[in-house]
Amino acid sequence: TKRPFATNLTIADPKLCAGESTTVTLTFSEALNRDSLTLEMSLGFTIRPTANPGTLSNLRTTDGITWQFTLTAPTSGASSTGNYLSVFTGGSVTDVAGNTGQEGVRYFIDTLYDIDLVRPTATITLADSALTVGETTTVTFAFSEPVT
């Protein structure tokens, strides 16, 4: 009996800021029953290793093999790096033939994502802060981290 298992996971944007969302794509070895896979952390997905990993929502598929969902960073708390997703495919996960998922957890530790909740700050300095009519000066903006 073939048992379905998770084979691949990709994260569209692995560098998230406060409240930012990205699409995660999860591929299985064969088509799953649409009702057997959920985003409930206790049943199917675990996010490790962080205390502030974000939330999962909007699980969707068109073929039962390739699934997508949304990962959203929290808006407050601590930043975290090296986060990864793990998928438990035993128990309630079934393929279209009714076979239960292969027991165990698949850790996608090669697909890491970071959550940066520290907002950049800026320091503004003027070369000459006592200008008279018609004078110019250089204004310098120094940010605490790279910005776009």
- The β-bridge relationship of strands 113-116 and 80-88 is antiparallel
> For residue 115, what are the β-bridge partners?
16, 80
**Nearest one of 6, 11, 10 to 37, comparing CA atoms:** 6
Question: Quick check: is 138 in a domain?
Answer: no
Residues 29 and 93 sit within 8 Å (Cβ to Cβ): no
CATH of the domain at 77: 2.60.40.1220
Question: Which of 63-72, 75-84, 115-124, 135-144 has the least mean pLDDT?
Answer: 75-84
Question: Quick check: is 140 in a domain?
Answer: no
| Per-residue model confidence (pLDDT) at position 111 | 87
- Name the residue with higher pLDDT: 27 or 39: 27
| Per-residue model confidence (pLDDT) at position 25 | 95
> How many CB atoms sit inside 10 A of residue 115's CB?
24
| Per-residue model confidence (pLDDT) at position 23 | 97
- Name the residue with higher pLDDT: 27 or 53: 27
Question: Quick check: is 127 in a domain?
Answer: no
Tens of pLDDT along 95-109? 888 888 877 778 788
- The β-bridge relationship of strands 113-116 and 15-17 is parallel
Write down the pTM of the prediction. 0.78
- The yes-or-no verdict on residue 118 having pLDDT over 70 is yes
The boundaries of the domain holding residue 34 are 6-116
Total count of domains within the chain:
1
Burial class (CB in 10 A: 0-12, 13-18, 19+), 104: exposed
| Per-residue model confidence (pLDDT) at position 16 | 94
Omega cis (within 30) before 4: no
